[in-house]
Amino acid sequence: MALLGSQSYLQKVLVIGGGGREHAICWKLAQSKLCDKVYCAPGNGGTALEGKVENVPIAVNEFDKLAQFAVDNKIDLVVVGPDNPLADGIVDRLEKSNLVVFGPTKDQSKLEWSKAHAKQVMDNLAIPTPRYVIARSYEDAKKSALEHDWARVVKVDGLALGKGVFVCDSQEEVLQALAEIFENQTFGDAGRVVLLEEKIDGEELSLLMLCDGKHLVEMPACQDHKRRFDDDKGPNTGGMGAYSPVDLYDRHKAEIQAKIFRPLQKALAENKLSFKGVLYAGIIVSKAGPQVLEFNARFGDPETQALLPRMKSDLLVALFACATGELDQVEIEWVPESSCCVVAVGDKYPASSSKGETITFDEQLANNATEPYLFHAGTKHGNGGVITDGGRVLSVVALAPTMEDAAKKCYEGLNQVSFKGMEFRKDIARRAFKQCHSN
Ligand code: GLY
């Protein structure tokens, strides 16, 4: 089915996942004039409230049930959000049922689920990345750590819920991390292979690119805030907030495009790289220039919540074009405004989740017709309202002509939400407007 010749054809979409990213995707898809209905499996308390969106009680790992649901309901496009089902081959399973799917196959998503594989791809394409060594046993890893005094970052090869990266200050800490991985086997199979990497000082940005197998299109750059507390202190999290655009990207655009974006684009066009979906490059910019730290094979969370409100074009058209190899037929436009997203979490996050606390919010904020927007993550319906049900509970997103005003509006929006134990960082995007003031 060619999308571009079928503008009047109403589409039914199934979004798989239940986080803030999936709420933002459902919200944006539902705005499409071509969209008749969005199902979200399993969704969350917020997707259940969006117009045109209906939650489906099927878990992300129930591939056969998801395929059956999509076939029975004549779904035109399936959009897969999270990394684990991609790594487990959900796209392969859905495509076997002749469904049109936005997302990479198991093999294609190896760029995310094997850090060693991603490094090898970067080497093949001469994409700059910090130097590294791969170790396939504890003995090997210890030997490499002692041989390479530059190795200060230890990464488990597989998916580890964002917890498989140890940034160390000494060789001793590297050896402790290796003991945690190989002796305590904290990461199970994901930690059978490790990567020892050089620690690079610099500032990071996330570059998300849409891909249809042959063509690659950059989305505006974002920056996320991974540490739990203000001033980038405390443990790593899934992400406490994000903003877009990113001045760092603009300042290094030519180099990022020449060394990272165009080699990927060329490799796709020449069939040297196989991928469709969102290719997400985690980039660090140091004195040596931009380097890729990692690839993800999906939309980022919370980057997506910051990005999609800036998208002027129809997301359904863009994702369908990616799934059907027609991305070159589509022009994707973005509004110039700055976007700021702040995530609210329970006070024990990331050690544990918030459960069963009643969430109160201003009705206008909740209806998402105008900004600030409220995207739910760990929420569900209960006690006659919406209650907490996860670590990252929700996020608020606002747009404004300047980042400072976007952040201000975002925090005003957050003041209209509350639940027991609610916490959030107070400095999201501050880095961006501090840089503006000092320029
Ligand atoms: N924000 C980081 C991620 O989505 O992996």
Provide the β-strand partners of residue 343.
Answer: 395
Ligand 1: atom nearest CA of 162 is: 5
Looking at 316-384, which runs of residues are DSSP E strands?
338-345, 354-361, 373-376, 379-382
d(Cα 332, Cα 329) in Å, to the nearest integer?
10
Tens digit of each residue's pLDDT (9 = 90 or more) over 45-55: 999 999 999 99
The predicted model gives 378-383 an average pLDDT of 95
Q: Could you tell me the pLDDT band of residue 3, with boundaries at 50, 70 and 90?
A: low
Task: Please say if the pLDDT value at position 411 is more than 80.
Answer: yes
Q: What is the pTM of this model?
A: 0.95
Measured in angstroms, how far is the CA atom of residue 46 from the centroid of ligand 1? 20
**pLDDT (0 to 100) of residue 433:** 85
Cβ burial of 151 (10 Å; 0-12, 13-18, 19+) is buried
Between 132 and 438, where is the model more confident? 132
Least confident of 157-161, 298-302, 400-404: 157-161
Strand ordering across the sheet containing 223-224: 223-224, 241-244, 338-345, 392-400, 373-376
**pLDDT (0 to 100) of residue 439:** 41
Residues 6 or more apart whose Cβ sits within 8 Å of residue 350: 228, 235, 236, 237, 238, 391
Of 51, 111, 116, nearest to 87 by C-alpha is 111
The predicted model gives 244-255 an average pLDDT of 97
Q: Show the tokens assigned to 158.
A: 């597989």
> Would the CB of 46 count as within 6 Å of ligand 1?
no
CA-nearest residue for atom 5, ligand 1, is: 300
Measured in angstroms, how far is the CA atom of residue 68 from the centroid of ligand 1? 30
Ligand 1: atom nearest CA of 21 is: 4
> Would the CB of 112 count as within 6 Å of ligand 1?
no
Of 242, 310, 385, 319, nearest to 76 by C-alpha is 319
> Would the CB of 296 count as within 6 Å of ligand 1?
yes
> Would the CB of 294 count as within 6 Å of ligand 1?
no
Measured in angstroms, how far is the CA atom of residue 207 from the centroid of ligand 1? 11
Ligand 1: atom nearest CA of 296 is: 5
- Top mutation candidate among 21, 296, 304, 375 for ligand 1, by most atoms within 8 Å of CB: 296
**pLDDT (0 to 100) of residue 436:** 54
> Would the CB of 237 count as within 6 Å of ligand 1?
no
Tens digit of each residue's pLDDT (9 = 90 or more) over 77-86: 999 999 999 9
Least confident of 52-61, 121-130, 174-183: 174-183
Of 93, 88, 66, 82, nearest to 20 by C-alpha is 82
Looking at 81-200, which runs of residues are DSSP E strands?
101-102, 132-135, 151-156, 165-167, 194-198
> Would the CB of 303 count as within 6 Å of ligand 1?
yes
Q: What letter represents residue 81's amino acid?
A: G
Measured in angstroms, how far is the CA atom of residue 416 from the centroid of ligand 1? 26
The predicted model gives 66-84 an average pLDDT of 97
Tens digit of each residue's pLDDT (9 = 90 or more) over 315-364: 999 999 999 999 999 999 999 999 999 999 999 999 999 999 999 998 88
**pLDDT (0 to 100) of residue 363:** 82
Residue 390 gets the label, from left (phi > 0), alpha (psi -120 to 50) or beta, of: left
Phi/psi at 91 (nearest 5 deg)? Answer: -65, -40
Of 242, 246, 240, 220, nearest to 397 by C-alpha is 242
> What average pLDDT does the chain have?
94
> Would the CB of 239 count as within 6 Å of ligand 1?
yes
**pLDDT (0 to 100) of residue 150:** 95
**pLDDT (0 to 100) of residue 1:** 43
Measured in angstroms, how far is the CA atom of residue 302 from the centroid of ligand 1? 7
Measured in angstroms, how far is the CA atom of residue 384 from the centroid of ligand 1? 32
Q: Are strands 101-102 and 77-80 parallel, antiparallel or unpaired?
A: parallel
**pLDDT (0 to 100) of residue 163:** 79
CA-nearest residue for atom 4, ligand 1, is: 300
Between 383 and 290, where is the model more confident? 290
> Would the CB of 82 count as within 6 Å of ligand 1?
no
